[in-house]
Amino acid sequence: MKSTDILQLIDKDENTLKTTFEKFKLLPGTLIQPYVKSFLISSDSKVKEIPVSIVAADFTDCIQNNFSGHFIIATDGSKVHYFTSIAGISCIQSFSYRIHPSNSVFTAEVLSICHALDELTVPEKNILIISDN
């Protein structure tokens, strides 16, 4: 595969998504940092969990304050022994598929995000993708 083939693939994907990759935004660390600090307390190099109710309240607060107008999609890729899977969910629909076990968990994570952009999005809204990778 030549480098021009890779560029053509990227351009094709860009057209398929009807957007440019410059429009994708990552959550800046300065925005999420106060919320992450409230999720975990560190003491003597040991991490203690905060009650789920507090984590859920802080997470909800973060979404409502910073992403209230966004269409929310959650994605995940996983790998256990001989199984590799992808999944995604939105308020409209969901998907889950088993993919070839030779795929890495990273490939599964990326594929779940790509599939979510393809299947679960609402074109007239900004999108917030929630993923663990």
Mean pLDDT of 73-90: 92
| Model confidence band, residue 57 (pLDDT cutoffs 50, 70, 90) | confident
Which pLDDT tens digit goes with each residue over 4-32? Answer: 443 444 555 555 555 555 555 555 555 55
Which pLDDT tens digit goes with each residue over 84-117? Answer: 999 999 988 999 999 999 999 999 999 999 999 8
Q: What is the pLDDT of residue 39?
A: 46
| Model confidence band, residue 62 (pLDDT cutoffs 50, 70, 90) | confident
Q: What is the pLDDT of residue 17?
A: 54
DSSP string, 20-86: -GGG--PPPHHHHHHHHHHHEEEETTEEEEPPHHHHHHHHHHHHHHH-TTSEEEEEEEEEETTEEEE
Strand, coil or helix: 119? helix
Nearest 5°: CA angle at 42, between 41 and 46? 120
Q: What is the pLDDT of residue 26?
A: 57
| pLDDT above 70 for 69 | yes
Yes or no: say if 79 and 105 are a contact pair by the CB < 8 Å rule. yes
Q: What is the pLDDT of residue 48?
A: 57
> Which sequence spans correspond to the domains of the chain?
71-132
Yes or no: say if 128 and 70 are a contact pair by the CB < 8 Å rule. yes
Q: Minimal CA–CA distance to 117: which of 127, 103, 107?
A: 127
